[in-house]
Each structure stands twice: as structure tokens, then as C-alpha cells.
Structure 1
Amino acid sequence: MADNRHDDEILGKAYDARLMKRLLTYVKPYKKYVFFAILLNIFVAALGPLRPYLTKVAIDNYIVNSNYKGLLLISLVLFISLMLQAAIQYFLTYYTQYLGQKTLYDLRVQIFSHVQKLALKFFDKTPIGRIVTRTTNDVESLGELFSSGIVMVFSDVFIIIWILAFMFFMDVKLSLVTLSVLPVLIYGTFLFRKKVRETYRDVRYHLARLNSYMQEHVTGMNIVQIFRKEKEEFNKFSSINADHRDANIRSIFYYAIFYPSVELISSAAIALIIWYGGGEIIQKQMTIGVLFAFIQYTEMFFRPIRDLSEKYNILQTSMASSERIFKLLDNQTFVQNPENPVELQNVKGDISFKNVWFAYENENFVLKNISFDIRAGETVAIVGHTGAGKSTIINILTRFYDIQKGQILVDGIDIRLVDKRELRKHISIVLQDVYLFSGTIKSNITMDNPEINFEKVVHAAKLVGADKFIANLPQKYDEEVKERGATLSVGQKQLISFARALAYDPKILILDEATSSVDTDTEKLIQQAIENLLKGRTAVVIAHRLSTIQNADKIIVLHKGELKEMGTHQQLLAKRGIYYKLYQLQYKDQELVSPK
């Protein structure tokens, strides 16, 4: 099987100064918490190594000399140091976790805000799952870096520094003997890091395959079941899952070798201490307290070494995640707003296309030299074969995409000179593929716009006939809507979408085959309402069923991106051109009525 690893699985450097610098900008607003946490770290790091030294004092000064009062005093100091360390550790954990959650919140808000501003061209090429992963998994993986990586690494470093300071303060020679095992430890850590890095890449790759396969096949479960492919798909999933399992086992294998190896090196260091220190004690060159303290220091020294190897994995994960996050944040696929936008005032709804050329990619033009005028209040239908460019007209009129050549005017103003949000405020769309959000019927009609009161919601629903089925629901307009409107029929979702468009009282209304998914009775209801609804509004209707647009003021016929015909229903039939052929195909079993 080909190893096609896209940027979801690419593993960058374990440490990238450029990425780290950008990550630290998110910590900057909370730098006082960082400084406070580092100060606590320096202090709490000293309390641990202090205890073996106090133990040494207790043995050499009080236990050997049978000084019970001094022993009680040093025991009290040890107890206070333990309690103080526990208290500081509590505040340290709280502040570091607080810091982590605040930075994650800010980062997620920035990502979501950035994604909302991206043009539809970006979403055409980018899988939704990948964007969701950036906002959830990748941001979450940075949580450990912000909460325990950046700050807590100081704790491990300072603990090692304090341990070395106490050790060299007590006995330089024994310290050098103890540290003689470090070259072996350093080499082992380097080897472990290299192997874990490789297995980590494999785990990420197979996890991405697992998530992708699961998401795709749960979404298309009805297709899997209707074609009885459960067994085949199960076998494929089982194979991918096995690859992920094996990659994790390989990773566990290296951990299973590394940690016992560290323990073995630690034991070797203790053996060296006992051998050398015991000889020194026999020769009266060292006290038992020093030997005992060094054994404790050795056990304490290797703990932060193990922790630092974990921090390395956190750092590696964070660098890979941050690289993907910043790649998204650096994406500049925007529909640019003008620096000094022209205001649309008292919009009437006049629309003009003047020699418009548009391509989604390079010079592959989907629309070629399109020109037409729509007067305010007119209903204009756009028809043509699949791929003729009908939906593209909607996309460029709403500035989801910008044209390459020509002009699109609304009330005589080039829409590229208008703020895109201001332009869209005067346009509502009812798409063929209805999308409803989790919430209530009311929230789906208003889109949580506080300016649309309940009376407007009811009025819009009545105009399209949606109030009839809404009135029969237990919670009426407060009825819960599941994800994508799963609890509603296709026709009901279409009616809610229609009510949503009308609730915003637009001057320009776009219907993209808006009645294609409703039954005959519902379609008649909407068609009856349209005559009243479109008064004072400009309507652009994308139609596949020509029966729905026979009363349009003007019909525009597109063919392979070019405007081929334009006129009323009867005028176009009389031409016996493309429109006539389209009409004939749809009604070949019915007698064509020629215009008089």
C-alpha cells in the first residue's frame, strides 16, 4: 500500500525556534502567571534536594550522637519542608493549568475567527475533518506544552541544578563518581529519542487513517448497509486498526526498554556510591550521613531525567501540531474587502453583469463574457445543463468568489467596492442542499439575530406555509433540531430554510432549486406564496424543473459557461433553441404548446 502521507502526518523538528517564538506570543498576555510559576518552581525545586541534606545532618549530628532533642527539631524541619512543598505544588499546578487553558481558549478563538473569514475556495480544497482536527486535537496537544511543558521543564532543570549543588557542596569526589554513568545515560537517551520519533510518526499516520476511515464510513453508513458491505468494510477497518495497534506497540517497546535502562543506570550509580563511599567511611574519610544523602540524591537525580524525556515527547507533538495550526492561520485565501468601502444605501435590487469572466482555477473559465441586467423587483430564472455555470452566478453575486474580468453591479455600484458583509446583508439564499444547525426551529430561522423578533419569525413561517407543521410539534418554535435537522423531513427542512431567508427581509432573494425537495402540495403552497413574497424584491431563481419558472420576467439560458439565450418562457420556446430542447426533454411525453 502506498505511503501517501499528507501534512497531517508530517513530523517536523523536535524543536523549532521559529514556531516556539510564535507559540510564546499566546503566553505573553499571561506572562505574570509564567514568571510567578517559574519563581515557585525555583523555590519548590530546592525543597526536594534539601531533604537528603537534612537527613545527612540528622544522621551525622544527632542520631550518631544520640541527640534526641536535635533529632526532633530536624524531623520537624523535614515535616515543614514537605508540607510547604505540597502547598506550593498545589498553587503551581493550578497556575500552570490555568495558563494552559487560557492560551488554548485564545488559540481556538483565533482559529475559528480566521476560518470564518476564509473564502469558499479554501473549503473547496480542504477536508472538513482536517479543519476540525486543527481546532480540537492539534490545539489540545498544545495544552500539555503550555500547562506542563514550558513552565514545568524549569522544575526538572532546577531540581537537577539543586541536586548537583548539594552533592558538590558535600563531597566533590563522590559527586564525580556518581556522575560517571552520565555518558551512558546521555547516549541511551539520544537513541531512545531517535527511535521514539520514528514510531511517533507511524502512530500519527495510522491514527489519521483510522479517524478518516471511521468518519467517512459512519457518515455513509446507509450506503454501506444497502449494498451489504458491512463485512468488507469491517475487514478494512480491522486492518487499519491493526496497523495503528502495531505502531503503538512498537512505541511501547522502546519505552519498555528505556525506563528500565534508566533504573539500571541509576542502580549502577548507587552501587558506585556504596563501593566508593563505603571505602571512604572505612578509612574515616566520609560520614554515613553523606553516603545516605548521596544514595537519596541519586534516586532523585534520575527522576527529572525521565521527566525530561517525557517533555521531549510533549515538545515534539507540540511542534508538529503548531506547524499545522500556523499553516492554517497563515492561509490568506480571502475575498478581500476594499480599504475604503462604498456604502449601499436604500438598496433597490438592480443587478448588472458586464462582460463577466470567472474561473475557479487558473484560466479554466466557468463563465465567459456574461452580460445581463436585472431590474429591481424582477424575477429572473437561470437555466442550463449541469455544469453550465448556474450556481457559479450565485457564488460571484454574493462575493463568495471574486471574478477575474468584468463587473458585477448592484444599484450601479461595483460589488468589489462594497464590504462583503454589507453586501450579503441585502441578499438571502435558499439552497437546494438545506443545512440546519443544532438548536431550535426559532434559532434556525433567526440564526440568533437579536434584531429578528418572534413576530417576524412567525410571519416568515406563515408566508411559506411552515407554520402548519410547526404548530403540530410539541414545543412549536422551540422544538429541538438535531444535527443537520435529522428529526425533520426534507420538505420541512426546506420550508425552514425558506422562512430563514425571508425573516431577514432581503432586497435580493436567490432560490437555488428551492422547491426541488418538497412534495407537490408543499411546492404548490410555496409557489402561491412566492408571488406575494417577491413584491419589492429582486429574485434570481436557479431552476432544473422548467415548470417552476414559466412565469419568470426573464429566463437566462447558460451553456458551457456562455449566455446563449435570454427572454420569456414563450419567447424562448419560439426560438426553438437550447431552452426549447431542455423543455422538450422534460416534457417529451407531453404535447408542446407553441406560442401564438
Structure 2
Amino acid sequence: MKHTDEILTGKEQRAIFIRLLGYAKVHFKKLLLAFFIMLLAAGAELLQPILIARFIDDYLTPQAFPTDVLGMLVSFYIGLLVLAVICQYVQSILFQKIALRIVQALRVDVFKNVQKLGLSFFDRMPGGGLVSRITNDTESIKELYVSVLAVFVQNGMFMIGTFVAMFYLNATLALYCLIFLPLLLVVIRLYRSISSRFYEHVSAKVSEINAKMSESVQGMAIIQVFRQEKRMRKEFGRTNDEHYQAGMKAMKADALLLRPIVDILSLIAISIVLIYFGFQSFIGPVELGVLYAFINYLDRFFEPVNQIMQRLSIFQQAIVSAGRVFRLMDQREYAPTKTGTETPTIEKGTIEFNNVTFSYDGSTQVLTNISFKAEKGQTVALVGHTGSGKSSIINLLLRFYPLTKGTITIDGKPLQAFSEEEFRSKVGLVLQDSFLYSGTVASNVTLGRDGYERGEIEAACAFVGADTFIQNLEHGYDAKVTERGATFSSGEKQLLSFARTMLADPAILVLDEATASVDTETEESIQQALEKMQQNRTTIAIAHRLSTIKHADQILVLHQGEIVERGNHEQLLKRQGLYHKMYLLQARENVTA
């Protein structure tokens, strides 16, 4: 993945722009209609100075005022004004609708790809940065369609029409004015080359701000407990200052290369026209209407140029943002999926690891030759110090990371042979930190899975003992759950997590330190629920408290990525090895407590 501050080359910017236009293909007919209406508006505006010129030269100067002709002229002029206003309103609405639909499709595509990415990607990418790309960056892209493309096309057509009208009035003078086009193109090219790196840096700093905010909000309790508010404010202020500095550089480029240069060119052009007509006055009479029309057209020519130049900054921001969005959309670091043509199903849920070796970064091994088997109805517990490889075994079993060496089978079939639907529906996971979503108690149990009746939800909750506290809630299963379930205790959240898992009736149960964050009293009720959940299922459990796995059929003791001991609780105590030391240490801590 490219670094967020990498400068886009001209070729890359063109490729991004073409790709953005590809999203407009499905709206081709609406765009065609919008452009046609835009053309009508431009034509209506361009005809207005010609009518005024005709009035000045044909009627005002010779002081001839035929009522019927002037009435028609005025009516036509007012009609053009009304037509221009109506067309501008309609084309603006059309472009807004198309832009919103395009950005909607873009956001869905990005989010769809993000959901398929593996955990290895999320290990490196801050959550705030992802949110920034899916929200802020796509919002910048919306401005491309709303404020930039429409203006570019409209004013481009207007500029062409202006030159056509100028050639109609005076071809010689129009040729003199054409010299300004290459000068404007040089300014545009210079601005794009300078501003692209500034806006890339601005977007990167916005991502950093979002990431810092996300981390701070999620870890607010720790920040306040350890009185880190001052340090966090300082770091946040530093990031904001860097964003400010990057923004100031971009604005300075805008201030220098946009309107001031165009205004200078406009003054030079008007001076050329006045000088030309000044010399013409020595030769013969000057048509005041043509002079007025030329001055008017020059103003109408450079005003669209000003609008285009001012929107170049929006265009540049949109291209930079689109580049960041497309880099995320093009990520192919997907989670492992099904391979092969077989479509096996999980029946018993027998798990077998055979000489599994694994590394996250390709160089440092976190697992070495891991082999074990868990039959249906058995519980295999994984214990060991922090960094011993327990979570890595779970991550591989849950197919979060690709297996590099060795084999993992379920019911004798390779792990990668199972479809995503089959695998996820037959494997249940309970984490140490139970995550609850905003919604109701019932919706947190179902997690949006269709096909479950209220009776099934209540039965799952009753099975794990969660029904007791749910019935005490004011609205029961329809009680509102705040973000992350802040109003529930750790034990209550864990019981809801158990019910969520049991609702699917999985053949395999994975417990990742499911009782580590609850108190001893709550642990007893949680443990009872766990014992019921493990019946007639294959269970793999990471255990922090060794007292919770005394009845496990097999305990695997891990150290530095290897299985150094295995057996049941009594066998490992008799061996007086690492497990025995860990057990005595915990027993001593409990007595001291």
C-alpha cells in the first residue's frame, strides 16, 4: 500500500480521473440531459450581449426607436434571462443527484472491499484513517461532480461560445485574444503540479486527526485514570498544527496562482481591446455596441476562467482523495477464503492441527510445529504466558490469517476447503471483551441474522442464564443498548455474547479468555453457562485463570510458540513443569488477594 504522503504523478492523476468518470457511466442519460440543459443556459447567456450590441448600434446610436421591434427585442432578452435561470436551476439539481448517487456507490464499493480484508491489514491500518477515507475523502469526491465537473464543462462551453461570438463581431480582435489561452493552460499546469503535494499532505493529516480522535475516545478511561489529558492535548494539537501548516501552503498556492494571475491577464486583454478600438477611431467611426459587446464578452470569458481556476483546488483535493480511496479499494490483502471445488460440511467438528508453523511478518515465527487433535465433545485448553502463541492458534483456526506451513483440518477436510457460509455458521466465538452494538438487546443477540423468532432468542438467552437480568430491564429484550454496551456490567455483556453464539448452535466453540474480565462471583455463573455450552461440542479455549480449565480433556502449555507440555490438569500438576509453576503462582496470588 502506498504511503499516504506519496505525491501523485500527472499520469496517475489522469488515471484516477478517468476511473472516477467510470462511475458516471450508469448515469449517462441523466448526464446527457444535464449537459444539454447546461448548453441551453450557456446559449441564453451568450446571446444577451449580442442583443444589447444590436440595440446600441442599430437603434440607440441612430436614435431610431420602432416600438414593435424594440418590444420584441426586450421580450426576447427577458425570455433569455428567464430561460438561463431555469436551466441553471434544473442542471444544478441534476448534477447534485448524480453526484450523490456516484458517491453512494463509491462508499459502498470501498466498504465492501474493506470488509473482505484480512486482519493483517487492520493490524497496520488505524481505524480513524479508514473512517477518514470512507467519509471525508468520498465527500471531497462528491464536490468533484457537484462543484467542479459541472463548472468545468459549463464554463468550457461558455468560453468556446464566447470566442465564437467574438469572431462573429470582429475576427481580427478575436485572434488577438486567443493568445491568452496557452498562457492560461500554462498557469493551470503549474498550479496542478505545485498543489498536488500540498493537498496530499492535508488529506494525510486529516486521517491522522481522525485516528487520534478515535484512539482517544476509545481509551478515554485510561487517559483520565493516568492523567494523560495534557499529553494527549499536546499530541493532538501538534497534529492539528501540522494540518494547519499543510493547509496554509495549499492556500498560499491558491492565492498566488489562481485569481490574481487571471485578473492580470484580464486587464491586459481589456487594454488590448481598448487600444485596438482607439486606433480604429483614428481611421473611421467605432461601433460602440461592438465595443460594449467585446468588453462584456471578455468579462464573461475571464469570469468562467476565474471560476475554473478557483475550482482547481477542489479538483486537486478530489483527485488526491480519490487516489487514497482507490488505494484502499484496490487492497487485495484479503482474509483466507475457500479453495478447491469440494463443498464439505462440518458435522462432528473434529479439529486437528498437524505441524503448523506460522509467522505474521514472514521472518519471526510465532508458532512452531503445533500439533493436536480435539474430538467432538472434548475441550482443549491453551495456556501460557503472554506472547506464547495462544491467540495465533485461534487466529489460524478462525481463518483470519493464511496458513503458511502445516495443515489444519475439520472432520478430516482442509480448513480452506469449507465455504465461508458453512465455516462461519458452524463455528462460534466468544471473546474476552464482548462487543455490543447500538440497538436493542434482541438485535445484539441476533446481530441482524435473519430467520430467528423471538422464542428462539429467548431460549438462547435462557440457556446461558442471561434471561434473569434481561427480564429485570425496563423493556426486556427491547431495551436499548448504548454504544459498546456501556450501561451493562462485564458479566452481563459476556452473557449476551454467549447467547449470541448459542443462537447459531455451532459445532465448534472457540473461547478467548471468556472469563478474564469478570469478577469471581460473576465467574461462577459464567462458568456454569460455559459448561452447558461446551456439552456435545468441540471446544478450544484460551484460559487465563487455570482454575476454569481443570475439567478440560486436554491442556496444551505453550512457550515461545511451541507446545512444551500437554495432558489434563492432574497429569500436568504431577509433572511439576511450567503448568505446575503457573498454577502455584496463581494460587499464591489468590490467597494473597
The range that moved more, 204-213 or 323-332, is: 204-213
SS in 2 for 1:425: helix
User: Which residue of 30, 35, 43 corresponds with 1:38?
Assistant: 35
- Matched to 1:78, the amino acid is Y
SS in 1 for 2:472: coil
Q: Which residue of 2 aligns with 1:18?
A: 15
Q: Which residue of 2 aligns with 1:338?
A: 339
The answer to whether the Cα contact below 8 Å between 2:354 and 2:370 also exists between their aligned partners in 1 is yes
SS in 2 for 1:17: helix
Q: Which residue of 1 aligns with 2:573?
A: 573
State the alpha-carbon separation in 2 of the partners of residues 70 and 396 from structure 1.
86
Structure 1 residues 131 and 248 mapped into 2: Cα distance closer, same or farther (>3 Å)? closer
State the 1:436 CA deviation. 1.5
Q: Which residue of 2 aligns with 1:88?
A: 87
- Matched to 2:4, the amino acid is D
The answer to whether the Cα contact below 8 Å between 2:4 and 2:200 also exists between their aligned partners in 1 is no
Structure 1 residues 106 and 566 mapped into 2: Cα distance closer, same or farther (>3 Å)? same
Structure 1 residues 555 and 191 mapped into 2: Cα distance closer, same or farther (>3 Å)? closer
Deviations 1:32-53 (A, max 9, x none): 2222223333332222221111
- Corresponding position: 1:51 with 2:48: yes
The answer to whether the Cα contact below 8 Å between 1:369 and 1:562 also exists between their aligned partners in 2 is yes
The answer to whether the Cα contact below 8 Å between 2:195 and 2:316 also exists between their aligned partners in 1 is no
The answer to whether the Cα contact below 8 Å between 1:281 and 1:287 also exists between their aligned partners in 2 is no
Q: Which residue of 2 aligns with 1:248?
A: 247
SS in 2 for 1:451: coil
Q: Which runs of 5+ in 1 are unaligned?
A: 592-596
Q: Which residue of 2 aligns with 1:360?
A: 360
The answer to whether the Cα contact below 8 Å between 1:96 and 1:148 also exists between their aligned partners in 2 is no
Q: Identity over the aligned pairs, expressed in percent? A: 38
The answer to whether the Cα contact below 8 Å between 2:151 and 2:307 also exists between their aligned partners in 1 is no
The answer to whether the Cα contact below 8 Å between 1:550 and 1:569 also exists between their aligned partners in 2 is yes
SS in 2 for 1:355: strand
State the 1:81 CA deviation. 0.9
Structure 1 residues 195 and 76 mapped into 2: Cα distance closer, same or farther (>3 Å)? same
Deviations 1:287-334 (A, max 9, x none): 111011111101101111112213432332222222222222222212
The answer to whether the Cα contact below 8 Å between 1:9 and 1:208 also exists between their aligned partners in 2 is no
- Matched to 1:129, the amino acid is G
The range that moved more, 157-166 or 204-213, is: 204-213
State the alpha-carbon separation in 2 of the partners of residues 114 and 205 from structure 1.
21
Deviations 1:126-165 (A, max 9, x none): 2112221221112121112233433442211111110000
The range that moved more, 253-262 or 292-301, is: 253-262
Number of equivalent positions: 586
State the alpha-carbon separation in 1 of the partners of residues 238 and 402 from structure 2.
45
State the alpha-carbon separation in 1 of the partners of residues 108 and 16 from structure 2.
19
Q: Which runs of 5+ in 2 are unaligned?
A: none
Which aligned pairs between 1:12-161 and structure 2 lie closer than 5 A? 12-13=8-9, 16-64=13-61, 65-161=64-160
Deviations 1:13-46 (A, max 9, x none): 3563322332222222222222222333333222
The answer to whether the Cα contact below 8 Å between 2:196 and 2:320 also exists between their aligned partners in 1 is no
The answer to whether the Cα contact below 8 Å between 2:200 and 2:320 also exists between their aligned partners in 1 is no
Structure 1 residues 114 and 46 mapped into 2: Cα distance closer, same or farther (>3 Å)? same
SS in 2 for 1:314: helix
- Corresponding position: 1:408 with 2:408: yes
TM-score (structure 1 length as normaliser): 0.91
Structure 1 residues 122 and 212 mapped into 2: Cα distance closer, same or farther (>3 Å)? closer
- Matched to 1:100, the amino acid is A
State the alpha-carbon separation in 1 of the partners of residues 232 and 562 from structure 2.
44
RMSD of aligned Cα (Å): 2.5
State the 1:398 CA deviation. 1.6
Structure 1 residues 14 and 41 mapped into 2: Cα distance closer, same or farther (>3 Å)? farther
The answer to whether the Cα contact below 8 Å between 1:463 and 1:529 also exists between their aligned partners in 2 is yes
State the 1:79 CA deviation. 0.9
State the alpha-carbon separation in 2 of the partners of residues 223 and 525 from structure 1.
28
The range that moved more, 469-478 or 34-43, is: 34-43
The answer to whether the Cα contact below 8 Å between 1:97 and 1:148 also exists between their aligned partners in 2 is no
State the alpha-carbon separation in 1 of the partners of residues 252 and 399 from structure 2.
55
Structure 1 residues 329 and 194 mapped into 2: Cα distance closer, same or farther (>3 Å)? closer
Deviations 1:353-395 (A, max 9, x none): 2222222221432222222221111122121121121112211
Q: Which residue of 2 aligns with 1:274?
A: 274
Deviations 1:521-564 (A, max 9, x none): 32111222333332221211110111001011222222222222
Which aligned pairs between 1:254-403 and structure 2 lie closer than 5 A? 254-257=253-256, 258-281=258-281, 283-334=283-334, 335-344=336-345, 347-403=347-403
The answer to whether the Cα contact below 8 Å between 1:382 and 1:542 also exists between their aligned partners in 2 is yes
SS in 1 for 2:584: helix
The answer to whether the Cα contact below 8 Å between 1:56 and 1:289 also exists between their aligned partners in 2 is yes
The answer to whether the Cα contact below 8 Å between 1:367 and 1:389 also exists between their aligned partners in 2 is yes
The answer to whether the Cα contact below 8 Å between 1:494 and 1:517 also exists between their aligned partners in 2 is no
State the 1:168 CA deviation. 0.9
State the alpha-carbon separation in 1 of the partners of residues 197 and 254 from structure 2.
13
- Matched to 1:9, the amino acid is D
- Matched to 1:11, the amino acid is I
TM-score (structure 2 length as normaliser): 0.92
State the alpha-carbon separation in 1 of the partners of residues 194 and 369 from structure 2.
59
State the 1:169 CA deviation. 0.9
The answer to whether the Cα contact below 8 Å between 1:434 and 1:497 also exists between their aligned partners in 2 is yes
The range that moved more, 62-71 or 379-388, is: 62-71
- Corresponding position: 1:432 with 2:432: yes
State the alpha-carbon separation in 1 of the partners of residues 186 and 333 from structure 2.
46
The answer to whether the Cα contact below 8 Å between 2:129 and 2:210 also exists between their aligned partners in 1 is no
State the alpha-carbon separation in 1 of the partners of residues 189 and 14 from structure 2.
20
Deviations 1:573-593 (A, max 9, x none): 1111222121122113789xx
State the alpha-carbon separation in 2 of the partners of residues 356 and 187 from structure 1.
61
Deviations 1:432-458 (A, max 9, x none): 122112211111110111222211221
Q: Which residue of 1 aligns with 2:167?
A: 168
The range that moved more, 104-113 or 258-267, is: 258-267
State the alpha-carbon separation in 1 of the partners of residues 189 and 590 from structure 2.
81
Structure 1 residues 140 and 392 mapped into 2: Cα distance closer, same or farther (>3 Å)? same
The answer to whether the Cα contact below 8 Å between 1:59 and 1:289 also exists between their aligned partners in 2 is yes
Deviations 1:451-480 (A, max 9, x none): 222112212222222222222222221222
SS in 1 for 2:588: coil
Structure 1 residues 412 and 39 mapped into 2: Cα distance closer, same or farther (>3 Å)? same
State the alpha-carbon separation in 2 of the partners of residues 513 and 141 from structure 1.
43
State the alpha-carbon separation in 2 of the partners of residues 232 and 529 from structure 1.
43
State the alpha-carbon separation in 1 of the partners of residues 151 and 340 from structure 2.
45
State the alpha-carbon separation in 1 of the partners of residues 378 and 142 from structure 2.
55
- Matched to 1:160, the amino acid is M
Structure 1 residues 357 and 182 mapped into 2: Cα distance closer, same or farther (>3 Å)? closer
Which aligned pairs between 1:139-218 and structure 2 lie closer than 5 A? 139-179=138-178, 192-193=191-192, 195-197=194-196, 199-218=198-217
SS in 1 for 2:434: coil
- Matched to 1:234, the amino acid is R
State the alpha-carbon separation in 2 of the partners of residues 370 and 188 from structure 1.
64
The answer to whether the Cα contact below 8 Å between 2:383 and 2:555 also exists between their aligned partners in 1 is yes
State the alpha-carbon separation in 2 of the partners of residues 349 and 238 from structure 1.
53
Structure 1 residues 433 and 86 mapped into 2: Cα distance closer, same or farther (>3 Å)? same
State the alpha-carbon separation in 2 of the partners of residues 589 and 66 from structure 1.
108
Structure 1 residues 446 and 79 mapped into 2: Cα distance closer, same or farther (>3 Å)? same
- Matched to 2:223, the amino acid is V
Structure 1 residues 552 and 52 mapped into 2: Cα distance closer, same or farther (>3 Å)? same
